[in-house]
Structure 1
Amino acid sequence: MDQILPKLLWMNTAIAFWVMWAGTVTAQEVEVQGCGVAGEFCVLGETLESPEPVGNESSDPTENRLDPINQYGDNNSLGQVTNVSQLRDVQPSDWAYTALRSLIERYGILTGYRDRTFRGNRSMTRYEFAAGLRQALDQIQSLIARGRDVPPADLATLEQLTNEFVLELSLLRGDVDALTARTRELELTQFSTTTQLDGEVIIGAAGIVSKDDTVTTLGHRTRLNLDTSFTGQDLLRTRLQAEGLGRLERRTGTPEGELSFTGASDSDLEIDALLYRFPIGNQTQVVIAANAGAADDFTDTINPYLDGDGASGAVSRFATRAPIYYLVSGAGVGVRHAVNDHLEVSLGYLAGNGGNPEPGNGLFDGAYGALAQVKFEIRDRATIGLTYVNAYNQDWQVGSQDTNLVNQLDLPVVTNSVNLAASIQLNPRFVVGGWAGYTTANVIDEGDANLWYWALTLALPDFGKTGNLGGFIIGMEPKVTGSDGLKNLGIDDPSTSLHLEAFYQYKLTDNITITPGVIWLTAPDHNSDNDDTFIGTIRTTLQF
C-alpha cells in the first residue's frame, strides 16, 4: 500500500491536467444530477461548458451536417445515472469497464446521461475513463486523509488502471512541464505581484488676513506611495512627493497657524519617505526609516480623526498632533510593542541628517530625536499616553519663533520634553481629547529655557452626513515661559497667543473630500503688539 499511494497521487495530478487538455480537442460529455442540459461535462457536481446540446433546433445550417452524430442524442431531459452497468458505449466484457464499474458502484464516482451513453469516438472513451479514474483517485485520497481504511484490492485496481493510461499520462507530462516553464517565465517578467500604487493629491487655497495685510495662495502637495509586501505582513513604502504650496510663516512671521500640508513652494518630484515595517511575533512591529521617517510611523499620536497627516482632519500642524512628535524625524529605527490588549510601548530614534557623512551630521553625530511612549487604552473608548523625547538640534516648526531655538539662534540646543495626551470617545459621533507638554531647553554654553503648550480638541465624525467630519481646536502653541541667560539673546515671549481652529471635512465621493477651515491667532507669536491673524483655507484631497 505504501508503494501504491505515491504513484496514485502523482497520477491524480497528471490526469487532471490531461483531461483539461483533451477537453479542448474534442467534445466529451458526461452529466451529473442537476446539469439537465446535454452538451455539458459534469463530474461530481462540477459543470464545464461545452458545445450546445445536440438535438436542439438551430438556425445554423452547418448543424445539418451533424445529423449522423445527433442521432445519439434526443430532446428528452437528461438525468443522473450512477450504475455503470447501464452505460452502453463501453462493453461489459472489457476489463476497463469492469474495473471502473466496481469503483463507481462502491464510491459513487462517475455519472452519465439518461440515455446511458458516453458521447464520443473510441479515442475519447479512454479520456472519459481517465476522468473517472481521476475522480476515483481524488475520492480515495480524501478517504485516506480522513483516516478511513481503503481495501488493498481497490488500490491495486487503481494502479492497474493508471498503468493502462501510461501513454496518455506520458504525453500529459510534457504538457505540464511546458505549462510550468511558461508560468515561471511569467513570474520572472512581472513587475511585482505585491506592489500597490496609491496616489494622493492635495489642492489647497489659503488666505491670510491681518489688519491691512492680506494675501492669497494656491498650491498643491502630491504624493505617490509604492507599497510593497514580501510576506503579506511586512511593508516597504517608497513615497514620491512634490510640493507647490509654500509655508505661511514667510508672510505671517511666525510658525503659529502653519497649515499641515504646506512645504516648499516649487519642489520637484523626489523620494520623500522610505521605510520598511515588519513584525516580530504577533505583538511587535519594527520600522526602519531610511529617509523622512516620522514619529507617527511607529507610535500612536493619540489624536483620532484629527491627525490625517495633512490630507484629512485638522488643517493646521498644531491641531494635527502634539508638538512633541515633530521633534522626531529623519532616518532611524522605531519599535511598537503591544504588551497586552490595553498597554502599548513605543520606542524610536530618528536622526535629522542620518545620511550626511559631513562633520556634525550622520546617524549619531548630528540632529536627532529619541522617543519613548507608554499608551493605555480603556475599553476601546479612552486612550491615555505619556511621551518623552530627548532631542538635539531639532525644531518643531510650530509655536513662536523663540521656541524654535535652533532656527532662531543657530546654536546647538538639547531639549527634554514630556507630553500627556488623552482621547475619549463619548459616543460614535463625539470625541474629545487634548494634550499638554513641557520642555526644558539648554542652549549649550548660553543658557536655558522652559516651554509650555496645551490644546483641547473636539471631533465630530459623520457630522451632517456619513463620512463627513467636523472639528474644533483651542490651545496655546509652544511658548517660552521662562529663561535663564537667554533674554540677552532676545529669547522672550512677553504675551500669550491662543490658537482657535474650526474645520468641516465634506466627503464628496469615496475618493474626494473638500475641507474648508479657519484659524484665528490672537497675539500672534505670543506678542500682543502683533495684530490678530486670520487664516482661511479650502483643502481638496483626491485619493486614488
Structure 2
Amino acid sequence: MSLRNIGRWYSITKNNLQFINNLTLLLFPLTFLLATTLKTFASEEVIVYEELDSIKNTDEMSQVTNVNQLQDVSPTDWAYEALRSLVDRYGCIAGFPNQSYRGNQALSRYEFAAGLNSCLNQIERLIASSESVVREDLDTIQRLTQEFAAELASISERIDNLEGRTAFLEDNQFSTTTKLSGNVFFNFTGATAGDDVLAETNSLDAPLPLRRAGRDSNNDPIISEITDDPEITFGYYTWINLNSSFTGKDNLAIQLVAGNGNSPANSFASAGLYNTFGTPFTDQTGTASGTNSVEIRELFYDFPLGEKLRVVVGPRINWYRYFDNNAYTFFLTGAGSFNSSGGTLVNPIDRGSGAVITFDFNDFVSFKVGYLGENTEFLPSAFFNTSSAPNKGLFSGTQTLTAEIDFSIAETANIRLMYTRSTVDNNVPILDENGNTTGFGIGGATGEPVYGVADDGFGGTIGDAPADTFAVNFDWKIVDWLGIFGRYSYGSTSIFPRDSDREEGEIDAQSIQAGLAFPDLVKEGALATFSFVIPFDVLDGEEFLASGAGDGGTQYEFEATYFYPVNDNLAIVPAFYLIANPNNFEDNPNIYVGNVRMQFQF
C-alpha cells in the first residue's frame, strides 16, 4: 500500500469512526496525567511526561502561515523521513493489517499531519505507561509539531465538530436496532375497450373484487355484457418498512401497507380475474378492510444458520420475495403488471404463515424450499386466512409447498426450476341466475393454478383441491444494452365433487411469457421492457370452469414499460397494455390500458 493511500486513510471523513478513535486531541494541556520517572537505558536518554507536554504546547506553534505550508510533503523531505522513522520505531500507525507505514508518494500536509498526530498520541501513551522514549525522537517531534502546527490545529477542530455531529445522530436516530424506510406510488390509469366486453359473472353490480360466478339452468356459465368504459383513476399505494437487526446478520421485518387503488381494467374482468390483466401491481388497495386503511403486509424473521443456510419464519411471509424472481420482471423496475411480474399459475398464496429455507451451494447454485399456510392481507380473515383459523389452522386450509433451484451462469444469465404442491380451500360461492348460492368452489386470488372459478360442473360444491405446478423462469443479459427473459408454467388441479354421482376430473392449464429488456436506456439505471404473456391457456377440464374458460379463446397480452429514475428517490414509470381475447373470449374486443406511475422511496 502506498504512503499516499495510507495518509488518505487518516483524512477526516464523517463515517470513519476508527479515525475518531485514533486521532485524539493534541492541543489541549495534558494536565490530568502525573509526572513519572522512566527507566534509563545505556544507549537512551529518559524523557519525562512534562517534557512532551511542553513540546505540544510550545508557543512556536502559533506561527504565521508561510509558502512552505502550502506544499505537499515529498518522500525526499526530512519531515517525511522523520515520520517514517517514528512509525517504524513505535508502530504508531495502527489502522493497517501489517501495522506499518510505507510508501514513496507525496502526501498533502493534512494527510501528513494525521500521521504525525497518531505518532504523538502513541508516544504519549508510552510515556504515561512508564515506557522509554529517546531524546532524539522527542526533538524530532518538537520540530515536526512546530512546522505542522496549523494542520494539527485544524485536525483538532474537525474532530470536535465530528464528535458533536456523531453525538447528535446518536441522540436523534429512530432506533438503535431498527431502520425505517418507505415507498409511495401514485398511479394515473385509464382503460378502454371501444366495444362491449363479455365477462363470466352474474353480478356486475357487485364491487369488482366480489364478482361471483354462476351457472344458468343449462349448467352453462352465466355471461354478462359490459357496455361502458371505466373512468380514469388516480390512486395511491404505500409501504412503511421497519427492519430490525439484533446481531447484524438477522432481520425482523415489518411492512405496513395502505392504498386506495382499483385499476379500471378490473371493470372488464370475469369473476375470479380481479387484479389480473391490465393491472399494474401497485394500483391496488393492499388491504381487506377497504381503501385508506393500514394493515400488516409482511411480518417475518430472517436469520442465518452457518455461512450458507438462512431460515425465514413468520405469520406473513411474502412468497414472491423468495421464489419466481426475475431480473427484468421485478415490479418496481421492470414488467410490472400482475400477469407479467410473476408466474400466473405457480402459487395460490401471495403471503402466508410458515417458513422458507434458502441454501447457497456456491456462487452459481442455490436451493430454496418453503411452506406457507394462507394468511393474505387483502382477503377477509373469516373466509381466506385459514392458517390462523382454529377450524383450519396452518396445515388444513389453503397451503402451498414450493421448491426451487437456481442456476447462475457467468453472472449474466439465470435459470430457475420450480415445483409447487398446493391445496386450495373451497371458499368461493357459486350462484344461480337468481343470485342464490348453489355450492362452493375454488378460484379468485387464492385459486391458482385455476385462473377464474371452478366447481363440479353443475354449480355444486367440490372438496378442497390439490394442485401441482411446474415452472421454469430465466433471464439473460446478452449484451450491456439488451436482455431477454421468459417463463413457462404448467398446472394441474384435481376436482372432487361432493356429490358422489358426479365425475371427478382435472383442470390442466399453461401460461407463457417472453420478453425483451433494454437496461440503461437513455439513462444509467433505467430499464425498458416489452413482454408477451398468455396468462391462462386451458388445455383440459373446461367443463369445471364456471368462469375463466370463455368461449374457448386464448387471452394474450402485450406490455411495454419504461422505468426512468429521476434520482435515487424518485422514478417515473409509464406503461401500456394491450389485452387481446380478454376473459378467453375470441369475440371480445381488445382492451387498451395506459398507466403512469410516480414512485418515491425514502
Amino acid at match of 1:320: S
CA shift, 1:402, in A, is 6.4
Quote the Cα distance in structure 1 between the aligned partners of 2:575 and 2:591.
14
Match runs of 1:64-143 below 5 Å: 98-99=37-38, 105=45, 111=52, 113=54
Q: 1:248 to 1:448 in 2, by over 3 A?
A: farther
Superimposed CA distance per residue, residues 115-168 of structure 1 (whole angstroms, 9 cap, x where no aligned partner): 99799xxxxxxxxxxxxxxxxxxx79999xx9xxxxxxx99x949xxxxxxxxx
TM-score, normalising length from structure 2? 0.59
Mapping of residues 178-217 of structure 1, within 5 Å: 192-212=175-195, 213-215=228-230, 216-217=232-233
Instruction: Decide which moves more: 95-104 or 527-536.
Output: 95-104
Asked if the contact 2:525/2:565 (under 8 Å) is kept, the reply is yes
Deviations 1:223-266 (A, max 9, x none): 00001011111111111110110254640124323321133361
Instruction: Give the direction of change, closer, same or farther, for the CA distance of 1:337–1:272 in structure 2 (3 Å limit).
Output: same
**1:284 maps onto 2:305 in alignment:** no
3-state SS of paired residue (2:320)? helix
Tell me, yes or no, if the aligned pair for 1:323 and 1:398 is still in contact at 8 Å: no
Q: Which runs of 5+ in 2 are unaligned?
A: 1-21, 61-89, 99-125, 132-168, 196-227, 375-384, 426-442, 498-503
Q: Is the alpha carbon distance of 1:430 and 1:397 closer, same or farther for their aligned partners in structure 2, counting shifts above 3 Å?
A: farther
**Residues 350-371 of structure 1: CA deviation (Å, up to 9, x unaligned):** 1113542242x32011011110
Counterpart code for 1:321: G
Over 3 Å counting, the alpha-carbon distance change for 1:249 and 1:47 in structure 2 is: same
Q: Is the 8 A contact 1:302 1:384 kept in 2?
A: no
Q: Answer yes or no: is the 8 Å Cα contact 1:203–1:539 preserved in 2.
A: yes
SS in 2 for 1:111: helix
TM-score, normalising length from structure 1?
0.65
Could you tell me how far apart the structure 1 residues matched to 2:446 and 2:278 are? 8
Structure 1 residues 305 and 403 mapped into 2: Cα distance closer, same or farther (>3 Å)? Answer: closer
The residue number in structure 2 matching 1:363 is 394
Task: Give 1:45 deviation, angstroms.
Answer: 8.2
Q: Which of structures 1 and 2 has the bigger CA Rg?
A: 1
Match of 1:435 among 468, 487, 498: 487
Q: Paired residue for 1:334, among 335, 339, 356? A: 356
Change (3 A) 1:115 1:437: closer
| Cα distance in 1, alignment partners of residues 411 and 48 from structure 2 | 54
Per the alignment, in what secondary structure is the counterpart of residue 411 of structure 2?
coil
The answer on whether the counterparts of 2:348 and 2:446 sit within 8 Å (CA) in structure 1 is no
Q: Does 1:319 align with 2:328?
A: no
**C-alpha separation in 1, matches of 2:446 and 2:337:** 9
Query: 1:26-45 to 2 correspondence within 5 Å?
Result: none
* Contact 1:512/1:542 (<8 A) preserved: yes
Give the structure, 1 or 2, with the largest relative contact order (CA under 8 Å, sep 6 or more).
2
Q: Does 1:403 align with 2:434?
A: no
CA contact (8 A) 1:295 1:325 kept: no
More helix by percentage: 1
Distance 1:209 1:437 in 2: 30
* 1:526-537 matches, cutoff 5 A: 526-537=584-595
Tell me whether 1:375 sits opposite 2:406 in the alignment: yes
Deviates more, 1:233-242 or 1:405-414: 405-414
Number of matched pairs: 403
Deviations 1:44-77 (A, max 9, x none): 98643449xxxxxxxxxxxxxxxxxxxxxxxxxx
Partner of 2:255: 239
Name the CA distance, whole Å, in 2 between partners of 1:401 and 1:478: 9
Change (3 A) 1:96 1:260: closer
**Equivalent of 2:549 in 485, 488, 492:** 492
Q: Distance in 2 between matches of 1:115 and 1:289?
A: 59
- Percent identity of equivalent pairs: 25
Deviation at 1:96, TM superposition (A): 5.4
Q: 2:321 aligns with which of 291, 294, 297?
A: 297
Listed as ranges, the gaps of 5+ residues in structure 1 are 1-43, 52-88, 90-94, 120-138, 147-153, 160-185
What is the alpha-carbon distance in structure 2 between the residues aligned to residue 477 and residue 509 of structure 1? 34
